Amino acid sequence: MEPELAVALPAAGAACATALRPRPRLALSLGALLGAGGLAAVVLSAPGAASDLLGITLSLSAPSRSMLIVAAAALAFVVVLAPQNAERSSLLRWGLAGLAGMAAIAVAPTLDVSVMVLLALVVLQAAVPGRRASARRLRAPALAVALLGLGLLFARMPGPPALERLGAVGLVAGLVAALGALPYMHEFDPEELTATSPIPWLAFVGPLLAVVVLTRARDLVPTAAGALGAMLIGLGLLNIVWGCISSWRTELGAAAWRYSFIADWGLALCGFGLGLTEGWSGALLVLYSVLLGRLPLYLWSRQPLREKVQTDRPINLLVAAALAGSAPFAGFTARILLLRGATALYWPLALVLAATLLLWVPSSLRLGRTLGMPNGRQLAGVVVALALNVALGLYPQPLLSLAGL
């Protein structure tokens, strides 16, 4: 199957869902059909195989393909078990638009084009009516595009090795700015719609973008790979500590969830920075668990957060355990892989990482309570999210094999 279809079908689905807004059921059916077609195109495409139908060579790498499949599964999961107050056709519309952009980022022939597609996504998100002015919403992610662009320019300039290291700085700074992690936190309004908030950058588009940028960065800055890894590990540790403590101590529940995403990104950045197979496996597992666990749980927590309902039932404790990365959930396996990678690279780093892992406990207990007393679709969603997390924790290899690891 051609990678062009992986972009075109979700884009057509998003366009249909937008055009058919007055008829939500038809929009949902048609959008779902085209989205499923897009997912089938990704699943059936061979990793690394190039296609030249449009006169541009497009191909999908194995890690990007696996991330797209998981993102599409997360979207389907969220739409089928949508929060009670959310409109399914709207969720699908935004999700398919994001998925089309992500597929375009993944199949683009060069990182330049991927960054341009990222800018198109940024502009489209800012153009949607929201609580904040569009120029303010555009600011942080567009800065990311500028930083990635500067990184690309420096990486390609002939000259002393310092230029390549500057390129690595630009790429890492741009990636972290696109995600909205420290030190480039995006402006956050807890009452904002999820689609127009910084959450999609952290929890939906971000995982694929990180995989694409870091996979291609290896070829762009080969002599600065060590510096790139060191920056990722440094920023990762900073985000773990800041994200966990802020998620625990901040007043607003929605902000606590946002910081928890940042803490997870800290782990993923550390894993990518290690540069070893174990590190990449751990990082990808963290990102899979963000897509299939933390993001849906965040969406289901929105209504109880508005109603200020907090409960301490067994289901809340189970959710807290999953978010904290305890066994047998996916976070546990990811942490074991990261610790193995860190031990192999430099054992004091494993010691520091192990110490920071305890920081997840208080914030996760708090986040578990914010789900309130799930019932109906929300309860089914929480149970499925927990089951998926357990499956990922016990049998991570099928997804890791899909990513070529």
Partner 1 sequence: MSEAAALAAWLGAAIILLADGRRGLALGLAVMAAGLAGVAFAVGQQLTGGALLAGGVLAAALRWRTGPDGWGLMQPGSTPRIILTVVIGLVALYFAASLASGDGAAVRFAPLACLALAGARLLQGAERAAALTAASALVLALGAGSLLGPSGSLPAAVVAALIAAGASALPATEPHGA
Of 80, 119, 255, 317, the one binding partner 1 by CB under 8 A? 119
Cβ atoms 101, 200 nearer than 8 A? no
Q: Residue 97 interacts with partner 1 (CB under 8 A)?
A: no
Measured from the CB of residue 115, what is the shortest distance to partner 1 in angstroms? 6
Per the document, the length of the chain is 405
Cβ atoms 280, 398 nearer than 8 A? no
Classified as helix, coil or strand, 251 is coil
Give 214-248 as a DSSP string: HHHHHHHSGGGHHHHHHHHHHHHHHHHHHHHHHHH
- Binding span for partner 1 by CB under 8 A among 141-149, 180-188, 297-305, 381-389: 141-149
Of 12, 117, 254, 324, the one binding partner 1 by CB under 8 A? 117
Cβ atoms 322, 331 nearer than 8 A? yes
Size of the site for partner 1 (CB under 8 A): 43
Q: Which of 19, 21, 7 is nearest to 96 (CA)?
A: 7
Of 48, 52, 53, 109, the one binding partner 1 by CB under 8 A? 109
For helices 3-19 and 24-44, what crossing angle results, to 10°?
Answer: 170
Closest to partner 1 by CB, 163 or 394: 163
Provide φ and ψ at 309, rounded to 5°: -95, 130
Q: Residue 205 interacts with partner 1 (CB under 8 A)?
A: no
- Binding span for partner 1 by CB under 8 A among 68-76, 126-134, 289-297, 354-362: 126-134
Q: Residue 223 interacts with partner 1 (CB under 8 A)?
A: no
Q: Residue 203 interacts with partner 1 (CB under 8 A)?
A: no
| E strands present in 211-329 | none
Q: Residue 120 interacts with partner 1 (CB under 8 A)?
A: yes
Cβ atoms 203, 287 nearer than 8 A? no
Measured from the CB of residue 59, what is the shortest distance to partner 1 in angstroms? 13
Classified as helix, coil or strand, 178 is helix
For 238, the token pair is 């900073």
Closest to partner 1 by CB, 139 or 377: 139
Of 159, 314, 348, 376, the one binding partner 1 by CB under 8 A? 159
Q: Residue 50 interacts with partner 1 (CB under 8 A)?
A: no
Residue numbers at the binding site for partner 1 (CB under 8 A): 55-56, 109-110, 112-113, 115-117, 119-120, 122-123, 126-136, 138-139, 142-143, 145-147, 149-150, 152-154, 156-160, 162-163
